[in-house]
A and B are shown apart, each in its own frame.
Chain A
Amino acid sequence: MNKLVISGSPHIHDHDSVSKIMYTVVLAMIPAMLASFWFFGFDSLRVMLVAVISALLMEWATQKFLLKGPLTINDGSAVVSGILLAFNLPAGIPSWMVVAGAFVMIGVAKMTFGGLGKNPFNPALVGRVFMLISFPVEMTKWPVPRPLFATRLADAITGPTALGLFKEGVDAGQSAQTMLHASQMPTEIARFFGEMGGSLGEVSAIAILLGGAYMVYKKVIDWQLPLSILLTAFLFSGLFYLINPAVYAPPMFHLLTGGLILGAVFMATDMVTSPMTIKGKVVFGVGIGLLTVTIRLWGSYPEGISFAILIMNAFTPLINKAFKPKRFGSDVLKTAKI
C-alpha cells in the first residue's frame, strides 16, 4: 500500500484557487476589451498584447534570475495587471513606452516586494502613473474613437478627453454649461457606451459594469467597494454642482467620464491592495471618491482616480488596523432571542 498522508485538519478544500480568481477577472474584462477594440481598432490590441507580454516576461525574468523562487507566471495575476495597465493607456501610445511601463509595474511595484500578494500599491496604477509623469505628451494624446466599421481616416486624429476638455474650458473662463454642450463634447449616451476620447478601458461604462456584475456574481469582489466610490464621487461632485453649476460639472458627467468606473470596478477592488473588511472597504472607497473629485476639481490633473487609489493604498494598512472584523463575543446580548 502507498504511504498514508498525515496533515492537520481540515482535510478538504473548496478547490478555488488564485489562478481561477485571476482568470475570472480576465473573463470579466472581455466586454471592456471588445469595446476598446471596437472604438480604437487594432491599436488597442497592440497595446494590450504588448502590456501583457512584457508583464509576463518581467515577472518570469525576476523570478528566474533575481528571486530564484518558484515560477508563478501562469497564476494569471500578471495577465490581469497587464490588461489593466493597457486599459489605462491611450491607444496611440508607442510600444516601447508600454514595455517600460509594464516593467516598472511588475519589476518595481510588484516583484520588489516579493511578488503576488505582497505589494502595498496597485501595480498597474504605479505603472500608469509612472508613465503619466514620465511620458506626459504621449500619455495625454487621446485618439478619437471611431467605431470599427465606420469609415477610417488615414492617420489617427487626437482629441482631448471629455474631462480634459471641460477642465481646460472652465479654466480658460468658459462657463460649465457652454463646455458641456461644446461640439467636441461627447453626448451622455456616447459617454455611457464609450464613444469618446480616453484610455482603452475607461471609455465604455456599460462594458465595465457588465464585467463588474460578473465579478460580484462570482464573489471575486464585494459590491460595497465600487459602490461606495461611485456614490461618494456622485454626492461630492453633486454638492459642488449645486453650489455653483457655472463652474462645476454635473455629477453624472463625473461618473461617466474619465476612469472613475474602471478604477472603481477593476482597480480599487484589487484584493492585494485594498482593506480586508467590508467596513474598511467602504472607508477606502469613500476616501477614493473624495480624493478623485478633489483632484479633478482643484488639482492640475484632469483625472484623479489613479492617484486617489494609490494614495488610499497607502492608507490600507492603517485601515486594516482600525477596522478589524467584528470579533465574536464582542457584543454580548444578555437577552434571549427566542
Chain B
Amino acid sequence: MSEIVAGVDIGSTTAKCVVLGEDARVLGKSLNAVGVDIVRDAERALDAALAEAQIPRSEVAFITGTGYGRYKVYFGQLVVTEISCHARGASFLFPGTRLVVDIGGQDTKAIRINDAGEVVDFAMNDKCAAGTGRFLDVCANALGYEVGQIGPLSLQARHAVKVTSTCTVFAESEVTSYVSRGKDPKDILAGLHASIVNRTLSLMQRVGVEPEVTFTGGVSQNAGMVHALQHRLGRPVNVSPLSQYLGALGAALHGRERVRGGAG
C-alpha cells in the first residue's frame, strides 16, 4: 500500500491541503479561501494540492480532515482537531518546539506540547473574535490596505498608538478615529499588532511560556506580528513559509501514522 497521505485543514477563513510522499516530503499543497460551500471547498483544496503534486487521487492512501470544518471532509478517513495537528506539524518542522502559537482567521491558540509533539495543554481565545486574524483583516480594511501589506508597514512605525478596544468591530472605529485625528497609519498598525500580541501573550501564559516557540497559522505570515511577538518575548520564535499549512501538515502526519501503524 502506498504511503502517500493528505491532510485537509478547513479553517474559518481558508482551506489548506498538504500531500505528503513516502518520505514525509511535501509533494503538493494548496490554499483557498473558504466560501459558503465547505464540502466543495474541501474537495477543491485536495484537488489543487494533488494537482500540484501531480498525483491522482487513487494513489492517496489516507486522508485526514482537521479545522473547524473537519466534519465536512467527507472523503477523509479520520478527523483530528486542529490543535493536535498544529502541534504535530510544528514539532515535525521544529522538533524542539514546546509551545505552539497558532493565530488563524477566527481564533488564537497556545498549545504546549511534549517532545513527541503531543498536546500537553492548550488555551484558546474564549472571548469573541478579538485578537485574531480577522481583527487584522478588519483593521487593514478600515485603513484601506491589503492584509499582506500591513505587517511590513507596521515595522516602519515610529510612535505606536495605544489600541484599547477589546472588540474587533469596535477596534475598527478606534482605527477610524485615529485616522481622523491624523495619526500615521503605520503607527496605528503598530498599535494594532502590539495589542494582538498582548492578547496572545496572555494565552501563552495560560499554558506556560516555554523556551522554544513556533508561530503557526495564517497570521504567522505577517512580518509585523512576528516582530512584535519576538519583541515582547525577547527572543526569536520559529516561523516557516509553511506555517500556514501546519494544520494540514499535522493532519497528514497523523494519517501517516495510521497508515504505518496499520502496516506495522
* A pairs with B: no
User: Taking beta carbons and an 8 Å cutoff, which residues of A are in contact with B?
Assistant: none
